[in-house]
Chain A
Amino acid sequence: MSKSSDGRPRFLSPLLRTLRQRPLVVALTKRELSARYRGSALGFVWSLINPLLLLLVYATVFRFVFTPRADVRPYALFLFGGVLVWGFVSAALLDAAETFRTNGPLLRKTTVAPEVFPAVAVGARLSHLCLALPVLGAAILFAAVTGSASPGAPLFQFPFVLLLLTATVFGLALAVSSLAVHFGDVRDLIGNLLTLAFFLTPVLYPAASVPQRWRPFLWLNPFAIFFSSVHESAFFFRPISASAWAGMALTAAAALLSGAWVFDRLRDSIAEEA
């Protein structure tokens, strides 16, 4: 295995470099966010309005048009948490696929470490998600007040699920971004895979509704464990099992390491191809 000068395996270096460049990642993420909203009258309020409208649509459709299974009521709330988090995952990966094209001039004209850009793609989408979380909180509170949900302490597991999910998404973003810059078809591929994954992941349905004999296949999807944990913590308010935590941690570690490995292999030519 090739080692860098400090004796660490070379493929870890994208991760270490991202850590070292934290201030730049934060500054560029802020730039992304504030530049997006500056000049619009409502500014950051938009990141509240969009999920709020989504929630209203769900609440209307699934109350008056379509009656879901009994174990996932209120279904609007069930759906909302999962869809918000899925929105983060898919937007972050799609942005990662574009990031080197968008930031080509910077890559070619500055000595910035390219790892920074997938990190910013994930960071910006995570920030959007965090800005929408108050709406989720309000929805849970509303459900609690009207008696249709009884939130409890397991809700506090949610941030940790999100943390491990973010690590996983960053690992994937490293691979996606570096592959997409070399291969034009990766971006389309990612779009299609994400649509497929949306239905294969327990976002619209609880993991428990998957027939027992198909269940093992469900867990082959790396996102499944995260979304079932999102449901456990933010909808059912049940403690997440130790095995689920272990599964998430292992997935995150595997995604980070393999993403960093792919990125490191392709890193040298990113600035040329972007």
Chain B
Amino acid sequence: MRGATKLYRRYGRKRSVGTLKTALLSRPAGAALVPEAGVAALTDVSFEVARGETVGIVGSNGSGKSTLLKLLAGIVRPTRGEVEVRGRLAALLELGAGFHPELSGRENVEIAGLLLGLSKAEIARRFDDIVRFAELEEFLDAPLRTYSSGMAVRLGFSIAAHSAPDVLLVDEVLAVGDEAFAHRSLEKFSEFEKAGKTILLVSHDLSLVAARCRRAIWLDAGRLVADGPAPDTVARYRERVAEREGEKRLAPGAAAPAGSIGSGRARVVAVRVLDGRGRPSGRLRSGEAASLEMEVRAEPALRDFVFGFALSTVAGQPVFGSNTALEGLDGEAFSGEARVRLEIPTLSLAPGVYSVDAAIHAADGAPYDYRRDVIRFEVTAETATSGVWNPRRRWRTEGGVRWKE
């Protein structure tokens, strides 16, 4: 394979035609077969992969990763745009596709091999290697239904690994089976790499992608967000995931959702939990700095206003609560948009999940917008403690107590 170009435009997945009648009655006849509207699984994705490159594809569920592989494999066609692959392609979208439980391992190897595009002669030539790699020599003539699921998966992987493609598409199927086999499948993967094969790997295992791939592509909602060296792309993707967990945008102007009370004269637009470096994060480390931030809006302007945050455990136990009035801040004017941040130099919370309430209210306590359980975050720590407080501390003993060295 020499430098394949893959250009995708839009890909509409489901169409609304259910019956032949509808298709024939629509004007012009058959027009309903052309997918115009539809959910775009991939939108205008373009990239090129050179021979011998190992490319990881990351993204959240539903971001279009599997559709991308299916397009590359030729299982589905792009609605717009072009896909071109040079060389022989093997798609490991599912291990043991085509396996039949009543047939023996031997018969299943042949069918699975043919499905992967091998010829009968090639299967015969590689048969022993396939079986040896899967470590199933003794069970070859037993029906597949008598195999353990691990055995079947090993056989499936082995067939695919021995299909000697130029381009290998892998969807979450590495590291199958027990420890030892997972290790060997990763070795096989490295072998492919050394042999100059092109590999596209879809995986949620970000450390695997960062470690095994030279390059990574990040898809989000069907669009290509980043394409570059794997560690960079993975880092950016991780950041984004944390960011999403650490921020909650609230529908502006919408009817007050459950958990919100207040007159609505001022609104909480978004609430964020920020880590020590000021980045939104759903996971904070105990003992480090953290902040709670709310984006707020008042229209028309307000003179009487107080901002407050409260923390509680998810079980409902209050942990902390304070507001600007309690801390001596006296409001003069609040108009338009603003950001209110509560900075905590040392987060002395014990490991666990905490829930945040955010509120804007009048000095007499009448709420403008009070959001209960608006966002949650997790606190991690090196040592486990009980309770909710995790202060900086030290044990000191005097008198007749000795500790082992």
Q: Do A and B bind each other?
A: yes
Residues of A within 8 A of B (CB): 23-24, 27-28, 30-31, 34-35, 38-39, 105-112, 179, 182-186, 189, 266, 268-269, 271-272
Whether A185 pairs with B111 at a CB distance below 8 angstroms is no
Nearest first, the 3 A-B pairs at minimum CB distance are A183-B20, A109-B94, A24-B114
Closest CB-CB distance, B38 to chain A, in whole Å?
10
For residue B95, give the distance in angstroms from its CB to the closest CB of chain A. 9
| Cβ 8 A contact of A110, one of B20, B33, B98, B143 | B98
24 A/B residue pairs, CB under 8 Å, sorted by A: A23-B120, A24-B111, A35-B100, A38-B102, A105-B94, A108-B75, A109-B93, A109-B94, A109-B97, A111-B73, A111-B75, A111-B91, A111-B117, A112-B115, A183-B17, A183-B23, A184-B18, A184-B19, A185-B19, A269-B35, A269-B76, A269-B77, A272-B14, A272-B76
The contact of A106 among B18, B103, B115, B117, by CB within 8 Å, is B115
B103:A271 contact, CB within 8 angstroms: no
B75: which of A38, A107, A189 is its contact (CB, 8 Å)? A107
- Check: B70 CB closer than 8 A to any chain A CB: yes
The answer on a CB contact under 8 Å between B114 and A31 is: no
A268 to B13, CA, bound (A): 12
Report the separation of the CA atoms of residues A27 and B142 in the bound assembly, to the nearest whole angstrom.
18
Report the number of A-B residue pairs with Cβ-Cβ less than 8 Å: 86
Residues of B within 8 A of A179 (CB): 20
Among B70, B94, B111, B143, contact of A27 (Cβ-Cβ < 8 Å): B111
A39, chain B: closest CB distance, angstroms: 6
Q: A182 and B70: CB pair below 8 A?
A: no
Decide yes or no whether B243 CB sits under 8 A from chain A: no
A39–B102 CB distance below 8 A: yes
A185 touches B20 (CB 8 A): yes
Q: Is the CB of A31 within 8 A of B100?
A: yes
Q: Are B18 and A110 in contact (CB under 8 A)?
A: no
- Number of B residues contacting the other chain (C-beta, 8 Å)? 36
- Closest CB of chain A to B295's CB: distance in Å? 42
CB–CB A110/B102 < 8 A: no
Interface mask (B90-124 → A, CB under 8 Å = 1, otherwise 0): 11011001101011000100110011110110000
**Looking across the interface, which residue of chain B has its beta carbon closest to that of A271?**
B75
Q: Decide yes or no: A183 and B19 within 8 Å by CB, A35-B100, A106-B97, A108-B70 being known contacts.
A: yes
Q: B404 contacts the other chain (Cβ, under 8 Å)?
A: no
**Residue of A at shortest CB range from B95?**
A109
- A105-B97, A185-B21 given; 4 more Cβ-contact pairs under 8 Å: A23-B114, A108-B70, A179-B20, A183-B19
